[in-house]
Amino acid sequence: AAGVIQSPRHLIKEKRETATLKCYPIPRHDTVYWYQQGPGQDPQFLISFYEKMQSDKGSIPDRFSAQQFSDYHSELNMSSLELGDSALYFCASSPAGNEQYFGPGTRLTVT
């Protein structure tokens, strides 16, 4: 079965640079969620989109923005990167009804 696709899988950036993470949801899933997971931490909700509109916002810094496109893929844009942004970033997708299926994640390292 098709799963959530994320790219890139690994990304190394320097402080103050920008990064763009991409997420391709499971076909026919209309909701996309972004989570940030630091080492040894639980995933923290950042932002979600339903039918290409932002549906909820969590602990997402103002330096980050995201959108969902007409083909339902989503991109998380991160600017002025800081060392503390180093984490695993997961995208999850959901059909109507709560169940969220996670992608493999993007490991972002900021040096």
Partner 1 sequence: GENVEQHPSTLSVQEGDSAVIKCTYSDSASNYFPWYKQELGKRPQLIIDIRSNVGEKKDQRIAVTLNKTAKHFSLHITETQPEDSAVYFCAASSHRDDKIIFGKGTRLHILP
Q: Which of residues 28-47 bind partner 1 (CB under 8 A)?
A: 31, 33, 41-45
Q: Is 43 left (phi over 0), alpha (psi -120 to 50) or beta?
A: beta
Cα 48 to chain centroid, rounded: 9
> Which tokens sit at 55?
């549906």
Pattern of binders to partner 1 over 64-103, x per CB under 8 A?
Answer: ------------------------x-x-x-x---xxxxxx
Q: Which is nearer to partner 1, 82 or 99 (CB)?
A: 99
Q: Which is nearer to partner 1, 22 or 79 (CB)?
A: 22
Q: Least distance from C-beta 47 to partner 1, angstroms?
A: 9
Using rule CB under 8 A, residue 11 touches partner 1: no
Instruction: Give the residues across from 5 on adjacent strands.
Output: 24
Q: Least distance from C-beta 45 to partner 1, angstroms?
A: 5
Q: What share of the chain is helix, strand, coil (3-state, %, to 5)?
A: 5, 50, 45
Site for partner 1, rule CB under 8 A: 31, 33, 41-45, 48, 50, 55-56, 58, 88, 90, 92, 94, 98-105, 107
